[in-house]
Amino acid sequence: MRDFPKLYEKNSAKIDSRKTIKDDYEHTLSTAWEVSFAKLPEEATKLLHMLIFFDPDSIDEEIFLEGSQNAIDLSADLEFLADEME
């Protein structure tokens, strides 16, 4: 949260140009999400892309841990799933 104001200030023109609804209020929730997602590590972004296929109310970490440990030929892009700390 402490980095958000500086990041938004630096990128405000680019972010504001993407607004979908024009009104008097200059900041949008999509702006906050976009700036936050831009700061995520690559592995977190990959995980988010996978999570869109799951039921948001019942995603269990074990699905990924067990799946990554049982997979014989895990893609290099997904090896971070096998690391408990990641």
Neighbours of 81 (CB within 10 A): 21
Tokens 């990924």 belong to residue: 64
Residues 6+ apart with CB under 8 A from 30: 18, 19, 20
Given pLDDT bands bounded at 50, 70 and 90, which one contains residue 85?
Answer: low
**Rounded (5°) CA angle 18-37-55:** 105
Contacts of residue 71, defined as CB under 8 A and 6 or more positions apart, other chains included, come to none
**Tokens 């869109």 belong to residue:** 52
% of the chain surpassing 70 pLDDT? 72
Domain boundaries, the chain: 4-38, 42-82
* Nearest C-alpha neighbor of 78 from the set 43, 40, 26, 38: 43
Please tell me the predicted confidence (pLDDT) of residue 16.
74
pTM attached to this predicted model: 0.46
Q: Is the pLDDT of residue 1 over 60?
A: yes
